[in-house]
Amino acid sequence: MFGLFKKAGPQEVSLNSDQYKFEVQPDQNILDAALKAGIAFPHDCRVGSCGTCACKLTKGKIKPTADFSYVLDGEQLKSGMILACQSRAKTPVSIDVEIDDSVKVEATNSYIAVVKKVTPLTHDIMELTVEIDGLNHNGLAGQYAELMVKKVGGSRSYSFAKAPANENSKELSFYIRNVPKGKFSGWLFGKDPTGQKIELNTPFGSFYYRDKSTPMVCIAGGSGMSAVKAVLEQAALDQAERDAIFLFGARTQQDIYSQKELEVIKKQWNPNYNFEYIYVLNMEPEDSDWKGPRGLVTDYLKSDYIEKGKLNMKECQGFLCGPPPMIDAAIAAFTAEGMPNEEIFFDKFLDSGSK
């Protein structure tokens, strides 16, 4: 009789025919349990929007916590695809998913951070620096942390603005854009938050530096500067044996920032290879003193690099970060020029208005 009310316990998850095994708690999703176990399960947004954690359920039963059909098409659903970030395990389950074994991804940790300082970078982007006692910064350049402020409610994702080796000890920095009517960014840009507490979990994300010898083509917009700059800092610190170009798309000169840090990357870059960064403005007044390129970053890449034969996109690796429409346009431009999908890495800065 009492057995009927037996509380559900943890369930075992097996990935790729026992390549990895871990336990998932009844109130935990499969992705979070995998990341806590230090497995490089592919993921990005972790809120059921991006589809990066899509995987095939081959055995067992799950309980979806969101409608997968927003992200997965009919064929995928029929073949047993699920979103790991929106799945609880009802029984032991087996899953097939491609795991990137080329890097060591660390298990996520939880911390209490304190706002150390906030520094305006442009009219709508702020650098947030937090201090954490006992921080073991085991993230990779390009990855992100999840930040929670009680007053705001819910969690928000923010990418590391620096390569781990460039951070001061016990500190993490983020570049955060002031989103109109946004709760977290409204809190940050409102009354000085210095000294306030933030709950923080890290590291997350499948966007990180991959070492290779092919040229890097990087595009960012808005606060997407953070993750792409961190990736480039890592490549510079590693003395990567490759060329790189970084196109930052912005509206006007008011939106330009991080020039000093990009100059440092340029100086540190492996002297046998080339690193260029270019700001491309699409809403700069015609009569202004701006001497740099104008228009869309993707058009500039095509006219000044691809058509002039400076880049063969089939042999490049792409790193993209920022607002979803810009990333979608850049992915389309990269693939149209023959860059293989598996060589394109990106983080779309999705927010609750993006669905």
Ligand X SMILES: Cc1cc2nc3c(=O)[nH]c(=O)nc-3n(C[C@H](O)[C@H](O)[C@H](O)COP(=O)(O)OP(=O)(O)OC[C@H]3O[C@@H](n4cnc5c(N)ncnc54)[C@H](O)[C@@H]3O)c2cc1C
Nearest CB to ligand X, comparing residues 95 and 179: 179
Nearest CB to ligand X, comparing residues 182 and 193: 182
The span of 11-19, 63-71, 129-137, 178-186 binding ligand X (CB under 6 A) equals: 178-186
Rounded CA-CA distance 105/142 in Å is 12
Rounded CA-CA distance 99/15 in Å is 9
The span of 23-31, 109-117, 172-180, 262-270 binding ligand X (CB under 6 A) equals: 172-180
Give the helix ranges, DSSP H, for 3-147.
30-36, 74-78
Q: How far apart are the first and last CA of the chain?
A: 45
Restricting to residues 229-288, name those near ligand X by CB under 6 A: none
Nearest CB to ligand X, comparing residues 32 and 347: 347
353 binds ligand X (CB under 6 A): yes
347 binds ligand X (CB under 6 A): yes
Pairing of β 20-24 and β 11-15 = antiparallel
CB 305 within 8 Å of CB 311? yes
Structure-block tokens of residue 297: 């970053």
Chain residue whose CB lies nearest ligand X: 182
Residue 57 CB, nearest approach to ligand X (Å): 24
Nearest CB to ligand X, comparing residues 11 and 52: 52
320 CB-near residues (< 8 Å, 6+ apart): 218, 219, 220, 224, 228, 326, 327, 330, 331, 344, 345, 346, 347
181 binds ligand X (CB under 6 A): yes
The span of 111-119, 157-165, 249-257, 259-267 binding ligand X (CB under 6 A) equals: 157-165
The span of 94-102, 111-119, 309-317, 345-353 binding ligand X (CB under 6 A) equals: 345-353
Among 108, 157, 202, 234, binds ligand X (CB under 6 A): 157
Nearest CB to ligand X, comparing residues 44 and 343: 44
Rounded CA-CA distance 169/146 in Å is 19
Nearest CB to ligand X, comparing residues 183 and 197: 183
Rounded CA-CA distance 49/45 in Å is 7
Q: How many residues bind ligand X (CB under 6 A)?
A: 27
Rounded CA-CA distance 183/29 in Å is 25
CA-nearest of 51, 45, 35 to 155 is: 45
Among 177, 210, 229, 242, binds ligand X (CB under 6 A): 177
Among 33, 62, 176, 281, binds ligand X (CB under 6 A): 176
Give the helix ranges, DSSP H, for 17-65.
30-36
144 binds ligand X (CB under 6 A): yes
Please compute, for residue 176, the number of CA atoms within 13 A of its CA located in the half-sphere on the CB side. 31
Among 41, 68, 158, 277, binds ligand X (CB under 6 A): 158
User: Which positions from 7 to 46 touch ligand X by CB under 6 A, shown as an x/- string?
Assistant: -------------------------------------xx-
Rounded CA-CA distance 96/81 in Å is 9
The residues that touch ligand X, with contacts defined as CB under 6 A, are 44-45, 144, 156-159, 174-177, 179-185, 205, 223, 226, 347, 349-353
